[in-house]
Copies of this chain bind each other. A is one copy, B any other.
Amino acid sequence: MFRYSHQLQFSAKPEKPDALYAMKVQELIGGQFGEMTVMMQYLFQGFNCRMPGKYKDMIMDIGTEEIGHVEMLTTMVARLLEGAPAEVTEKAVATNPVLAAVIGGQNPHHAIVAGGGAMPTNSQGVPWNAGYIVASGNLLTDFRSNVAAEAQSRLQTSRLYGMTDDPGVKAMLQFNLARDTFHQQQWLLGIQQLVDDGLADVLEDSRGSEEDQQQNHTFWSFSLDGSAAGEGRWASGTALVGDQPIEYLPEPAFLTDDDGLLPPPDPELFSTYDGDQGPGTPGDAAGARVQGAKNVATKIKDALT
């Protein structure tokens, strides 16, 4: 269960309004790596976590902090939009070219849809969607996604930092940069903790004994005119999995003579076919070899007797 305080975690006060910058800040709210993403990603990871204790609590702590970050950024956007020239019409534009530029660049939704507030969308107006988030139930895997999300988020914040002069905005972004830095560490240290607790080995090696033991340490090059990829650490030295040396394959070698030839099509689906491979398998009971009625009846009969 959740509760809220009226105060923000950190102040979100621009010195002056700036409708163009408000449009850009939307990326940090509803973009692929905006605060809505990390908030929902961590909450779902926390809700689905199977282990009470330090892992679940840590995830919930950060997820809860991120709700407050959405709050800070939406507050910033609403303040940046104060007096945004929404109602300026042709007449005003004609006498003020710079004003026209702001009008051209500002987010029309800020005025028309949100009435001067933030939108749950990215800087291009695309609504946030849950296809961005990750919560697999496997913490090692998810912590890697979290490291990546914080890294992308921090990079975007760094870029946005250079696009404003406003000291109030810069102050908040300095806070955001620091939290992104810390949260990156947190997930990296979380991975270390999983290793220390013996919770990583098993998972990292899911189906490890069944995977192809050659292809897990072979670099394939697909270049036709020479590749420098063989010069990197990824193409030589000991593999991270097992203790075989990484093999570099400069020319791809087919591991099969399978040329992808498909079976004749079900005639009732009207796929194009010249008949060269004989008649197709009809998609009816007869064709569904695996689940033939006779077979089932026998099994049920067995169960009944």
Contact = CB atoms under 8 A, between A and B. Distances in A.
A115 B136 contact: yes
B147 A12 contact: no
A12 B260 contact: yes
A225 B224 CA distance: 13
Most chain B C-beta atoms within 10 Å of own C-beta, residue among A8, A107, A131: A131
Nearest to A23: B108
Interface in A45-69: 47-55, 57-58, 60-61, 64-65, 67-68
A212 B175 contact: yes
Most chain B C-beta atoms within 10 Å of own C-beta, residue among A13, A179, A188, A215: A215
A261 to B, nearest CB: 6
Interface in A127-186: 127-141, 144-145, 147-148, 151-152, 154-166, 170, 174-175, 177-179, 181-182, 184-186
A59 B209 CA distance: 28
A27 B112 contact: yes
A234 B179 CA distance: 13
Please state the number of chain copies in the assembly.
6
Interface residues of A, number: 229
A275 to B, nearest CB: 9
B93 A98 contact: yes
Contacts of A38: none
Contact of A229 (B57, B99, B118, B163): B57
B113 A158 contact: no
A202 to B, nearest CB: 8
B101 A269 contact: no
Contacts of A230: 54
A70 to B, nearest CB: 7
Interface string A178-209: 11011011101110111011010011001110
Given A98-B291, A185-B240, A228-B54, A103 B20 contact: yes
9 contacts: A1-B71, A3-B5, A47-B74, A52-B261, A65-B222, A67-B67, A95-B302, A185-B240, A297-B304
The 4 residue pairs across chains A and B that have the minimum distance between CB atoms: A115-B137, A124-B125, A104-B105, A48-B117
